Chains A and B, each alone.
Chain A
């Protein structure tokens, strides 16, 4: 509510958006068992779909050992597209870890940051903030792989 409106006596005392967000906070959290079942089925379905895509690439003649790469890229594309259309967040809110743990969550965090910071420009916004959330996954993955690779090279 703007100060001018309030002075003119046109405003209401309770900000509508604030009330809605407060109301959501007050709702009880969904029970753990339900969350687990939803995550299991959502994650299972994502991987089932991935297996379908994997089998398509294998049947197209991609060697079995290398078919994982185009499969991951396809799933990343689908997640990025759903994020662009604004659908992903609605599904992810229901699916919880079922969509966050597969590479869909990684793609979603990069794409949503890329879109959100577009308003700060393609270079300083999209380009530099794209990995603001997903960057830690790459950093800790690389540090782990460096240690693992070093140990394997030395023994």
Chain B
């Protein structure tokens, strides 16, 4: 799944798209990163994002668009398995690790470190 070269190249290029949007559009980072997630979800829906992960490995797995892709894939695969309610039950099937890790590590850091300034 990906090589060091393709991970570097594709990961770098996705970040360049982000930098262009940061610098050339009036949108805030919040808008742009939400846009990345939406784009990842749509690309996941049409099956493109998985091929990108196969090609680029972590280069496609780490950008936040991968989060949208994983949400869409979880909803789609569970819907295919158990009908339309699967859209709800499968939504966080694949992203559970990322969300849980973010909440846990964020919480523990807040317990350990004091606020600055």
B20 → A minimal CB distance (Å)? 7
**Which chain A residues in 100-155 approach chain B with CB under 8 Å?**
100-107, 110-111, 113-119, 122, 126-127, 130, 133-134, 136-142, 144-146, 148-154
| A contact residues around B18 at 8 Å (CB) | 39, 43, 97, 100-101
Q: Does the CB pair B16–A97 fall under 8 Å? A: yes
* Cα–Cα, bound, A100→B18 (Å): 8
Q: Does the CB pair A36–B20 fall under 8 Å? A: yes
* Cα–Cα, bound, A117→B86 (Å): 36
**Which chain B residues in 24-63 approach chain A with CB under 8 Å?**
24, 29-30, 33-34, 36-38, 40-42, 44-45, 53, 56-59, 61-63
Decide: A106 near B67, CB < 8 A? Known: A133-B30, A141-B41, A148-B76: yes
> Which of A6-14, A20-28, A66-74 sits within the interface?
A66-74
Nearest residue (CB) in A for B117 is: A116
Q: Does the CB pair B37–A100 fall under 8 Å? A: no
Q: Which residues of B contact A (CB under 8 A)?
A: 1-4, 7-24, 29-30, 33-34, 36-38, 40-42, 44-45, 53, 56-59, 61-64, 66-68, 71-72, 74-76, 79-80, 83-84, 86-87, 90-91, 94, 97-99, 101-103, 105-116
